[in-house]
Structures are given as C-alpha cells and as structure tokens.
Amino acid sequence: MNNLSFRQTIFLYLSDHLDGERSVNSIFHILTGKRSSQTIQDIKWYNLTKYFHMFPYWKISDFTAETDELVKYELIDTNENLVRMTAKGKQYLTDFLLHYDWPAFFNGWKYGQAESLFWKRVSLLIQCLSYALAKNRSFLPVFEEEEVQQWLKQRWPKNDKTKQVLADALLGELFQLLEQLSNQDAFLFSYRLSGYNYTGLTMRQLSEMTLLEEDECYFRFQAVIHYLLEHVDQTTYLKEAAYNLIEKTVLTRTTKHTLYYLKQGFTMDEISYIRQLKRSTIEDHVVEIASEDEEFQIHQYVSEYWKNLIVNKMKSEKTMKLKTIKEALPEPGVNYFIIRLTLAYYGGNHGNT
Amino acid sequence: MGTLDNRLYEWFGYSSFKHNQREIIESVLSGEDVFLMTATGSGKSLCYQLPALLKQGTAIIVSPLLALMENQVQELKQLGIKNVASYNSFLSLKEKKSVLNRLPEYKLIYISPESLQQKDVLDKLSRLNVSLLAVDEAHCISQWGHEFRTDYLKIGEARNKMGSPPCLALTATAAPEVRKDILDKLNMKDPVIKCDTVDRTNISIRTIKKETEEEKRIELIDCVRKLPKPGMVYVGSRKKAEELAEAIKNEMPFAASAYHGGMTKEDRHLIQQQFLLDEVQIICCTNAFGMGINKPNIRFVIHFDYPKDIESYVQEMGRAGRDGQRSTSILLYTEIDHVFPRKMIEWEFPTEEEVQYICEVLRTDDSHDVTRKRVESYGFEDVHARFISHYWEEWRNKEDARSQEEFINMVIKRRKGWKFNKLIQMEEWISNNNKCRRETLLETFGETLQSPAKQCCDVCGITEPLEDVDEAGDAGFPMMSWQDRLYALLQQQTHKG
C-alpha cells in the first residue's frame, strides 16, 4: 500500500467517528459542505462540525475512486452501504494522529461561509495599500467582484498619512495573531497575499515550497482564515473585514423561513400547508433548528419522560442510530421525528461550535 | 483640421494620431460602416472612443471579455471621462437597473453580447439614440459565434432594433473568409475596410517536425533552455500544460507554471500577474491564456500542439515581441498530431443521435420555449445545449421546410466542414517546406510580402539564432520569512527609503 493522500486520511478519520453508522456518501457531504438537514444533523451528533466544508471542491468521481482504494487496501469496508473501520484502518489512523499537528484552530461549520469573502477583503485591501504606499496605481486587483470592491471603497483611507496608519495597524494586528501559529501556517497566509513587487503564490506553488500536498495546503490556509475570524474581536482593522459575515445561527434559508412561522405560533402541519411543503420537510427544519437555535423550546415537542428514555438509550447503546434506539425503547409510541429531535437537541452542541 | 487634434489632446493627452487613426475616425464620424484590422497595441479603441465622445447620443461597445471592458472603463475614468459604464452579468440587479435607467446620460456603454440579447436591455436600447455600434474582437463572431457564444450571431439583429446605427468592427486578425463572415453577420453595407499587415517582421518563424511526442518534449526543453526568456508554450490540453510545466521546472532553474481553465480564478490571476512581473519566466498554457494580456517583452512563443486555425496561430505567436525586439515563434509537430484537433472539432458538436433524440423529445413536449436550460435538462452539456437552442430558434424564424433535425444536422455539417477546412489550411501551411513561411502565411490573409525580414523563417534560413545570454536563470521566488514578507508588503515607504 502506498501512503494515503491527505484527504483520504481525513476521510478515514471521519469514518472512525461515524464507525458503522453512516454511509460513504454522508462523509462526502460533510467534507464538501452540503447544507442539508441530514448532513447538518450528522456533524452535530458526531461532533464533526469542524470538518464540515473542508474540501468543497472534491469531485464525486474522484471521491468514489479514492474511497474505493481504501476498500482495496482493506482500511475500511463498506458492506450494507455503511463505512466500517478495519483493524488495519484503525492502526493507520492511530499512526497518523500520533504525528499530525492539527492547525491551531479550524471550524468549517462556523466559518465555511465567511472564509471566502473575508479573505477576498483582506487580500484586496493589502494589495491596494501596498501599491498605494509604493505610489504605483497601475495593477490588476486580485479580486474584481463588485461586492468586494464596494466594501473596500467605503473604507479606503483618503490620504497618504491615513494609508500608512492603516498599513501599520494591520501589520501589527497580523503579526500579533499569526505569531501564535506555526511558522508554516503563517507562511501559507503571507505568501498567498499579493502586493507591490510581490505576487501571491498559487496553491500549487505553496505546495512546492512547503512540501505539503495541495489539499493540505488548502486546508491549513483556510484554517488560518478561520483562526483570524475567530479572533477578529481582538482587533480593530481586521475586524472590519469580517463585517456582516459572521451570523449568529447558521440555518439554511428555507429553515429560517420555517422558523419565522414557528415564532408566529403556527403548528408544523399549518406550516406544511402554508409553505406547500411535505410534513417530513418541515420536520427536517425543526430538527435543524433544535440543534442550532439556543432559544429552541424542546419541551413543546418532547415530554420529559420520553426525553429521558431516549437520552438514556443513546448512552447505554452508545449509538446515534435511530433504528437501534427505537427498538431499544421499552414501549412504542414515539416516532422517528421525536427521537431525531431529542438527539439533535441533546446529542449535538448548541450554537456554532 | 484642428478640432480633432485638439480633442485628442484635451481628452486623451496625445499630441498626434497614430498611423491611420485619423482616417478611420473621420469615416466613423461621417456615418460610414468601418471594418478595421490592426495589431494589438496600435490604438484600436481610440477609433470608437473619440467618435463616441464627439457624436450625439450613446455609443454601444460590444466586447467579449469582462476584464477588457472593466479595464477600458477604468482607463477612461482615470482620464476624467466619467460618463461611461459597463453592463454585464456580474453587476447586481440594482446596479443593472441603475445603468439601464441612466442610459442616455452615458457616452459609452460597454456590454457583453449575452447581455445585449436580454429583452429589457434591447427594449431600452431600441428607444435610445445610439450614436454608433462598435464590436471589439470581432473575429469572435466567426471563431466562437457559431458554436459556443451564439449570441454573437445576433448582434446584427440587435443592430437593426437599435435603428441601424453606423457599425465599427475591430479585430487584430481575420483571414478573408472570416472578414466576410463578420461583415455578413453584422449587416455591414459597403464598409470602409482598413487592414494592416499581419506580418510581424521582428518574429522569426520556425516549424520543427519530430517523429514522436517524446522527441517533441526533448526539443521543447532544448528550445526553452537556449532561447531568451520570458516565453510561452501553447498546448492542447490542461493535463499537458501541467506536465510540461513540471518537466521544464525539473530540467532547468527557470520558474515555469501552468495556466488553464481548470485552475481557480484566483490562481489564474496570480500566474498571470507573476508572468507580467517576470516572477515566472515560462508559462505552459492552453488557449485560455492570452487575450487581453499585454506583456511587451515575451521573447518566444512555442506551439507544442498546433491550433485549429491559422488566425489563432497568428494571434498566439503574435504575443511575442510586442516591444519590437527580436523574438521567435516555433511550432513543433509530429505526423500523428492531426488526430487530436479533429477530435476536438467533433466534440464541439452534438452527435447525430443526440440531435435526433432531442428533436423528438422537444417536438412531443412543447416545441416553443426551447431555452438552453431546457435542453441542458435532458443531459446536454452547456455548449451543445446553447447550439441546439440557437438553431432551433433559427429554424422556426426561417420557417424552414425541412425537419428540425435535418436543419440542425445541416448546420453542423456546414460548420464542421468550415472548421476542417481551416484546420487543413493550418496543416498545409505547417508542412509546406518549399516556400517562405512568412510569404505563405501572408497569402492566407490575402496579403503579399512587402519587405523580407532579416531573420525570416526556417525555409529562408535564420543566420543568427537568438540565444539566451543569462543561462543561470532565476530560481523562482525569493525566500523570506513570513514576517519579512508581510513587512515588505505593507511598509513600502520605509523600504524604499
């Protein structure tokens, strides 16, 4: 067996967490960041929010070929469409985890949506400042999107002095934050930036310089972005680049719509009728809300009695599998929705983390 | 006399016109249709910008590339000409509305051919006093229009709706049959035709035949090693662009990089910028690279795979030596190279079975609203879907007596025939070793050789081949700590002082 690629290893790592309870594709959806109720539940229940949206560009055809390889190497097996770790797989993973230095911080669920625009703002700002300070006005902006340029226009310092002040302050803030990271991670960030006399490097070029795989470069670079986003509150100028990007709850658009009606006091059946959506779809939304929204009142849906029973079974059976839990309950009378809702509320974490 | 020069100086800061700019501008001002073929960098855009500012009404400039539009708008604004705008799919709904509602206030509007076809846009334009319609990079009409940007073919129709304003078509390269196609599609009547020579006397031309792909690679590495840099290598596929960039990097100390449509927009931008600043000396690219890039000091262009038509070849090799310094164009080929471009042409069109299938489905469902999206929903790829929906509509407008599939297959046959002929023309030029390459190249553009170049081509003989004086090269990117790099980016003043 050759060494696995970085993303194959990460796949193995997630397989270990979901051992025997989820399919290969559910891991694909986590890593590419599919915002469906099922995937959102999975990352909450199994505590995998960090790994959400880690490789958004992974193509399903490549993914299938790469996971087939893991089966061929006997690191996992995929009977009945569920991923199970083999002893060999567990050993491989243990060896990897023993030596792997995870980035200081990353959380794809919390910052996966903000990362791109935050980076575009920061790098455009630094490029423009760099050229302005060098008194050179002819250059191609790294990002041309109107929304990024508009953001910059509103904050662009008027004269040379304020430009220098902003540049100095940014430099200070970046130094302070990046110093907490490994040299390599700080390197990835600063070499991706462009400015006068220095053009940023592509992921391929960064990979050549650091000898990391391109996927790992990408991951660690995004991790720096997440780290900065997590700490912008300690800054004054960097914080501006996160303006309007970080939402308190990360609900899907359609779920927000359902939440609006819930707050108006409509029942789930009424909402299903108003929105012309299936009852099961509304259930998905409520489960999503239960895991995300701190104000969610679970007792309106699940009695204390059932809640205790379900949570206890989850713990005693050490599983998140609905069927197993339902069969273990002493009496019928609860449907899958109630179980899912309970697990979403108590099994996962609240809020973004 | 006088006023034009005054305006030129007042608005653009130039004290005199370049060679035939004045003549062209006068023709445009007198309301004639003009076809202009002139080298990139010779001041084409001034030929519509100045008349647009002088004439009553608003000039519409159709341009294929977003970046080109944005650049021109920015440049004009920097000159203090503020009543210009661009209209394209990247604007937000609000911005679009704002531009549309203020149309008469603008002197120039840059627009993509796709946006020009939107109903709300056309409606507004039909009520606007359009001073002139300029079509930039007009060869795209013929090169791309028939297949993957079919909206190019409808510019003529849009022109009628705007009340047939005078039309100016501009391009850097167009062979006679392409020229004819452009005039035809834009409904241009008795146009003034101004064509500069396509001859680039400072570029020597070579074609080198090899037996195998591997020999081609060895020759490529050898050429890249010996020739002065920077330079470009054109290849037929993304994969090959990556492979050759790797091979060059492994063999010699020059920074080389691939560039192709499969890379992210950000990475493509970075490579382009690195190349412009000479941080990367060699680019291995597909034809996705080039248009709109103005780098004067490119010393060589090597074709590792040859293009599908001679215009593309002339455009691509013509990126060398814009500064007028001696440069080299080399085309490498083997006997088996003819297979790939033929396949590429086949892939551009849906197959006969696919045409039959989609026509049957569309006929039984609802044959009216045949949009690209709808064709795509039956599993067709973007380009094929666009093609089918365009010619379905044309079939209906023409009330053609044939069935839809007969009509569409007829178009495909005609277009493939045209493309294969262009390819054969390219190949005949490559394999003709008996006559000066420059002379035969010019002949395909309907020109004759005026004055022989000193270092002409491999047939005439190149007596003083260009050689790189600085073989040591630059080993790529300077290494510094992340702290130093951040510092260098943000402390320009202190650094310089």
pLDDT at B469: 72
Contact B267 A203 (CB under 8 A): yes
For residue A210, what is the nearest residue in chain B, using CA coordinates? B479
Q: Kindly state whether residues B30 and B159 are assigned to the same domain.
A: yes
pLDDT at B474: 57
Residue identified by tokens 């304003």 is B165
Q: Which helix (H) or strand (E) holds B111?
A: strand B108-111
Contact B70 A144 (CB under 8 A): yes
Q: Kindly state whether residues B131 and B187 are assigned to the same domain.
A: yes
Reported as a pLDDT band with limits 50, 70 and 90, residue A202 is very high
Contact B493 A191 (CB under 8 A): no
Q: Kindly state whether residues B113 and B51 are assigned to the same domain.
A: yes
Q: Kindly state whether residues B158 and B273 are assigned to the same domain.
A: no
Contact B490 A187 (CB under 8 A): no
Tell me if A198 is assigned to some domain: yes
Contacts of B90 in chain A (CB under 8 A): 144-146
Q: Evaluate if residue A352 carries a pLDDT over 50.
A: no
Q: Kindly state whether residues A122 and A220 are assigned to the same domain.
A: yes
Tell me if A108 is assigned to some domain: no
* pLDDT, one tens digit for every residue, chain B (497 residues): 468 999 999 999 888 998 789 999 999 999 999 999 987 777 889 999 999 999 999 999 999 877 778 888 888 887 888 899 999 877 878 888 989 999 999 999 999 988 998 899 999 999 999 999 999 989 888 877 777 678 888 899 999 999 999 999 999 888 888 899 999 999 998 999 998 888 999 999 999 999 999 999 999 999 999 999 999 999 999 999 999 999 999 888 788 999 998 899 899 989 999 998 899 999 999 988 876 677 889 999 999 999 999 989 998 999 999 888 999 999 999 999 999 999 999 998 999 999 999 998 888 876 677 888 888 888 888 889 988 988 988 888 888 888 889 999 999 999 999 999 999 999 999 999 999 999 999 998 888 888 878 899 999 988 877 777 765 555 556 689 999 999 999 986 544 43
- In total, how many domains does chain A have? 3
Tell me if B317 is assigned to some domain: yes
Last-in-domain residue among A46, A74, A100:
A100
Tell me if B438 is assigned to some domain: no
Q: Kindly state whether residues B180 and B95 are assigned to the same domain.
A: yes
Q: Kindly state whether residues A131 and A237 are assigned to the same domain.
A: yes
Calculate how close chain A gets to B286, using CA atoms only, in Å. 17
Tell me if B476 is assigned to some domain: yes
What is the percentage of chain A residues whose pLDDT exceeds 70? 97
pLDDT at B374: 87
Quick: pLDDT tens for A25-36.
999 999 999 988
Domain with A28 in it: what CATH number? 1.10.10.10
Contacts of B241 in chain A (CB under 8 A): none
Report yes or no: A37 at the B interface, CB cutoff 8 Å. no
Last-in-domain residue among A68, A100, A132:
A100
Tell me if B236 is assigned to some domain: yes
Q: Kindly state whether residues A261 and A176 are assigned to the same domain.
A: no
Higher pLDDT, B497 or A344: A344
SS3 B62: strand
Tell me if B162 is assigned to some domain: yes
Contacts of A142 in chain B (CB under 8 A): 266, 269-270
pLDDT at B477: 64
Tell me if A107 is assigned to some domain: no
pLDDT at A170: 96
Tell me if A197 is assigned to some domain: yes
Cis bond leading into B166, ω under 30°?
Answer: no
Contact B482 A168 (CB under 8 A): no
Cα separation, B51 vs B59, in Å, equals 9
Domain with B300 in it: what CATH number? 3.40.50.300
SS (H, E, C) chain A: CCCCCHHHHHHHHHHHHCCCCCCHHHHHHHHHCCCCHHHHHHHHHCCCHHHCCCCCCCCHHHHHHHHHHHHHCCCEECHHHCCEECHHHHHHHHHHHHHCCCCCCCCHHHHCCCHHHHHHHHHHHHHHHHHHHCCCCCCCCCCCCHHHHHHHHHHCCCCHHHHHHHHHHHHHHHHHHHCCCCHHHHHHHHHHCCECCECCCCHHHHHHHHCCCHHHHHHHHHHHHHHHHHHHHHCCCHHHHCCCCCCCCCCCHHHHHHHHHHHCCCCHHHHHHHCCCCHHHHHHHHHHHHHHCCCCCHHHCCCHHHHHHHHHHHHHHCCCCHHHHHHHCCCCCCCHHHHHHHHHHHHCCCCCC
Q: Please state the φ and ψ torsions of residue B403, each to the nearest 5 degrees.
A: -75, 165
pLDDT at B31: 93
Q: Kindly state whether residues A191 and A270 are assigned to the same domain.
A: no
pTM of the model: 0.80
Tell me if A144 is assigned to some domain: yes
Structural domain that includes position B307? 199-347+458-497
Q: Kindly state whether residues B469 and B369 are assigned to the same domain.
A: no
Tell me if B280 is assigned to some domain: yes
Structural domain that includes position A37? 6-100
Tell me if A320 is assigned to some domain: yes
Q: Kindly state whether residues A90 and A35 are assigned to the same domain.
A: yes
Q: Kindly state whether residues A138 and A214 are assigned to the same domain.
A: yes
Calculate how close chain B gets to A129, using CA atoms only, in Å. 7
Tell me if B437 is assigned to some domain: no
Q: Are strands A84-85 and A76-77 parallel, antiparallel or unpaired?
A: antiparallel
Report yes or no: A169 at the B interface, CB cutoff 8 Å. no
Q: Kindly state whether residues A15 and A38 are assigned to the same domain.
A: yes
Contact A201 B270 (CB under 8 A): yes
pLDDT at B495: 45
Helix-helix angle B119-126:B93-101, to 10 degrees: 10
- In total, how many domains does chain B have? 3
Q: Kindly state whether residues A217 and A276 are assigned to the same domain.
A: no
Q: Kindly state whether residues B19 and B70 are assigned to the same domain.
A: yes
Last-in-domain residue among A100, A129, A145:
A100
For residue A167, what is the nearest residue in chain B, using CA coordinates? B490
Tell me if B294 is assigned to some domain: yes
For residue A57, what is the nearest residue in chain B, using CA coordinates? B264
Q: Kindly state whether residues B277 and B305 are assigned to the same domain.
A: yes
Quick: pLDDT tens for A124-139.
999 999 999 998 877 7
pLDDT at B473: 55
pLDDT at A304: 85
Interface of A with B in 233-272 (CB under 8 A): none
- Among the partner residues B67, B91, B490, nearest to A130 by beta-carbon distance: B490
- Among the partner residues A129, A146, A203, nearest to B490 by beta-carbon distance: A129
Quick: pLDDT tens for A240-265.
999 888 776 677 788 889 999 988 88
Report yes or no: A129 at the B interface, CB cutoff 8 Å. yes
Last-in-domain residue among B421, B449, B466:
B421
Contacts of A140 in chain B (CB under 8 A): 269, 272-273
Q: Kindly state whether residues B249 and B354 are assigned to the same domain.
A: no
- Per the CB < 8 A criterion, the answer to whether A216 and B290 are in contact is no
Q: Kindly state whether residues B160 and B207 are assigned to the same domain.
A: no
CA end-to-end span of chain A: 36
Q: Kindly state whether residues B182 and B316 are assigned to the same domain.
A: no
Calculate how close chain A gets to B284, using CA atoms only, in Å. 14
pLDDT at A350: 43
Cα separation, B177 vs B421, in Å, equals 11
Q: Kindly state whether residues B205 and B314 are assigned to the same domain.
A: yes
Q: Kindly state whether residues A219 and A141 are assigned to the same domain.
A: yes
pLDDT at B496: 42
Cα separation, B280 vs B271, in Å, equals 8
Q: Evaluate if residue A284 carries a pLDDT over 80.
A: yes
Contacts of A203 in chain B (CB under 8 A): 264, 267
Q: Kindly state whether residues A234 and A125 are assigned to the same domain.
A: yes
Contacts of A145 in chain B (CB under 8 A): 90
Q: Kindly state whether residues A137 and A234 are assigned to the same domain.
A: yes
Q: Evaluate if residue A353 carries a pLDDT over 60.
A: no
pLDDT at B437: 94
Calculate how close chain A gets to B486, using CA atoms only, in Å. 6
Q: Kindly state whether residues A300 and A236 are assigned to the same domain.
A: no
For residue B91, what is the nearest residue in chain A, using CA coordinates? A146
Task: Of A95, A170, A96, A106, give the one whose Cα is nearest residue A132.
Answer: A170
Calculate how close chain B gets to A187, using CA atoms only, in Å. 5
